[in-house]
Amino acid sequence: MTRWNAIWLAIVAALLIAVPTVIGNEFYVNMASQVLIYALFALSINMMLGYGGMVSLGHAGYLGLAGYACILLTINGFDQLSAAILALAFSTVMAGFFGMLSLRAPGLGFIMITLALGQIVWGIAYRANDLTGGDNGLRLPARPMPFGIDLNSAPRFYYFALAVVAVALFFIWRFSRSPFGASLMGARDQPRRMSMLGHNVWLIRWLTFVLAGFWGSVASLLFVYYNLFLSPHALGLQQSAEILLMAILGGASSLAGPIVGAAIITLVKNVISSYVERWNTLLGAIFVIVIIFMPYGLVPGCRELWRRIAQRRKPSASKAASEPAA
Amino acid sequence: MTAPALEIAGLNKRFGGLPATKNVSLTVMPGERRLIIGPNGAGKTTLFNLVTGDLSADSGSVKLFGQELMGMRTPERVHRGLARTYQILTLFPREKLVHNVVLALLGLDKLRWNPWAVLTGHRHLYDQAREALAQVGLAASAERVVAETSYGERRRLELAMALAQKPKVLLLDEPLAGLSQGERQTVRELLGKVPRDVTIVMIEHDMDTALGFAERITLLHYGEVIVEGTRAEVVADRRTREVYLGD
């Protein structure tokens, strides 16, 4: 990590820690928690999209798998920790199964299979009334109390979500710089070549699918803990598409991109929608403008802009230095 | 008795009604330099694709040092000592040259499954990659991005990636294609320096280089082996002149 990156990271960490104190208003602290939850969703889908070149339209399915599993286990007498672990295990195993099915087809076929799998989960959640409560959804009796800490206040839940997202972010950061991450990006760019270099492209993609499913499931648990409720509306195609858009808007090829994308979309949806009736149109306009001017997303686009500005400054600075003093 | 480095027997592949290879059989001994020639569409690259597993054969057998490769996926074949370069360059253009070779080295290293370690922390891989680049005269360009290099440098990078894997059998698909005279000379010299424990099978249209390099030659025509023998035998054969060299 460069010195500048370390400084930026320290500033961002300090700002994030200061959010509840600075904002104060409970509504906006809750909003920040939502941003963190969606950021984790977007980061998890970005493992497939940005690093692996795999576009999934069924990521919200994990919300159904992990979320319903957690609620059902809790209301059937399991303690919160056991319920969370079992729900994560179940959802990750299902991600492995979904990965096997989805990776049978490349490109458009892959997208359509993930879409179909997501819709199957939604369909089960909607129709299996006895199990999922159907359209009425299911309620989680209470938030967990990790180490005896009550998470019912907005700032405490925010810090809990921040800690989970920080752990996930650190793992995904290491993942993106690891040998496995390099193999995944190689498989994204030149699958045939990677195969001829001895890499098992299918297995690399499948493992990534499972890892993305795991972190998507962690985000799902946070979602359920935050809302204390889950219904089929939360795991439909729109949710999957929004998570995908978050990663694309912020910049799928970067680590910070999905977080920025999640922040923009969540804020537009929850804050600006209070003032602008046609907030969907506004979101669409933002997306179109970003894609026109920064086709790789906001974060890579801003980096490129910064690089150009720095390049323009350099020649003028060196010219000034080379001019003789009057 | 030493097992052949590469033994192909009765290899068939059809694309619909079009036979791409017809009952192709050839034996390449360890350390040999074999040249595959033939007019465009003769099935030379298809033959390479069948050997590497890029394409699956309809029938026949491919053995590497006596071990059957049919039914194995491409990475498994690579792990048994097979490497190749492509006629159309397939590199990682946004990455540095050294990273391209590191990816080649990772392909044979268990480290490739590690999602936690920081890749750049494994200096031994980068040292090996730089050695491989130095072998092809690209030591000074190791930190350059592939997209900023010349075509000749990219051809040499392909070779470095293949050689870094220390293959037993190296398949070179037109390694001189698109190169200038000077660059051809450089690659010729590089190929001449490849140690004898690497068996080389090469497809090449540059007959001056190819004939100077090869010990035995196989002529393919419409997917069939029609002539095989030493340089002198193949060049002297009437069918070689008819279908390939011209009168």
CB-CB neighbours of A279 under 10 Å: 16
Instruction: Say how many C-beta atoms besides its own lie within 10 A of residue A317's C-beta.
Output: 11
- My answer on whether B135 and B148 are in the same domain is yes
- Which of B148, B85, B96 lies closest to B119 in space, CA to CA? B96
**Chain A residues within 8 A of B115 when measuring between CB atoms:** 174-175, 178, 180-181, 207, 211
Beta-carbon contacts of residue B95 (< 8 Å; ≥ 6 apart): B103, B145, B146
- Judging contacts by C-beta atoms under 8 Å, the chain B residues touching residue A174 are 115-118
**B68 and B93 belong to one structural domain:** no
Task: Give the confidence band of A279 by pLDDT, cuts at 50, 70, 90.
Answer: confident
Positive or negative CA dihedral for A277, A278, A279, A285? negative
Does B210 share its domain with B196?
yes
> Exposed e or buried b for every residue in A98-132, given b needs 16+ CB within 10 A?
bbeebbeeeeeebbebbbebbbebbebbbeeeeeb
Same domain, yes or no, for B161 and B202?
Answer: no
pLDDT at A318 over 60: no
Say if residue A325's pLDDT is above 60.
no
Q: Are residues B75 and B4 in the same domain?
A: yes
User: Residues of B numbered 178-217 whose beta carbons fall under 8 angstroms of chain A's beta carbons: which are they?
Assistant: none
Residues of B in contact with A195 (CB under 8 A): 54, 73-75, 78
Give me the helices (H) in A57-190, please. 61-75, 80-102, 107-127, 129-132, 154-176, 179-189
Q: What is the mean pLDDT of chain B?
A: 92
Task: Identify the residue with better confidence: B96 or A319.
Answer: B96
Q: Provide CB contacts within 8 A for A246, sequence distance 6+.
A: A38, A39, A41, A42, A258, A261, A262, A264, A265
Beta strand ranges found along B73-118 (DSSP E): 82-85
Which of A178, A197, A207 is opposite residue B103, by nearest beta carbon? A197
Domain boundary, last residue among B136, B166, B196: B166
Whole-angstrom Cα distance, residue A189 to residue A53?
8
| Residue range A258-273: mean pLDDT, rounded | 92
Instruction: Tell me if residue B74 falls in helix, strand or coil.
Output: helix
Nearest to B119 among A182, A192, A198 (CB): A182
Query: Does the beta-carbon distance from A180 to B78 stay under 8 Å?
Result: no
Same domain, B20 and B131: no
* Model pLDDT for residues B133-145, shown as the tens digit of each residue: 999 999 999 999 9
Instruction: Please tell me whether residues B153 and B96 are part of one structural domain.
Output: yes
Domain finish residue from B110, B144, B166 = B166
Distance spanning both ends of chain B, measured CA to CA: 41
User: B145, B166, B187: which is the final residue of a domain?
Assistant: B166
What local confidence, expressed as pLDDT, does residue A106 receive? 86
- Which of B52, B74, B124 best probes binding to A when mutated, by most A CB atoms within 10 angstroms? B74
CA A69/CA A32 separation, integer angstroms = 26
ipTM reported for the complex, 2 dp: 0.93
E-only strand ranges, chain B: 6-15, 18-28, 33-37, 59-64, 67-68, 82-85, 169-173, 199-203, 216-221, 224-230
Please tell me whether residues B160 and B105 are part of one structural domain: yes
B35 and B142 in one domain? no
Residues B69 and B184 in one domain: yes
Identity of the amino acid at B102: V
Residues B41 and B203: their CA atoms lie apart, in Å, by 13
- Between the alpha carbon of residue A80 and those of residues A83, A262, B234, the distances in Å are 5, 27, 78
What three-state secondary structure class fits B12?
A: strand
> Which structural domain range is residue B102 located in?
89-166
pTM above 0.90, yes or no: yes
Does B210 have pLDDT greater than 80?
no
* Same-domain pairing of B158 and B176: no
Note whether B176 and B144 are within 8 A (CB). no
The residue length of chain A stands at 326
CATH number reported for the structural domain that contains residue B213 in this entry: 3.40.50.300
Kindly identify which residue of chain A lies nearest to residue B164, measuring between CA atoms.
A197
Higher pLDDT, A280 or A199: A199
Nearest residue to A44 (alpha-carbon basis) of A201, A153, A176: A176
Across the interface, whether the CB atoms of A182 and B99 are under 8 A apart is answered yes
Q: Do both B151 and B174 map to the same domain?
A: no
Q: Where are the domains of chain A?
A: 26-234
Per-residue pLDDT, A322: 55
Contact B204, B8 (CB under 8 A): no
Give per-residue pLDDT as tens, A22-65. Answer: 988 999 999 999 999 999 999 999 999 999 999 999 999 999 99
* A108 vs A28: CA distance, rounded Å: 39
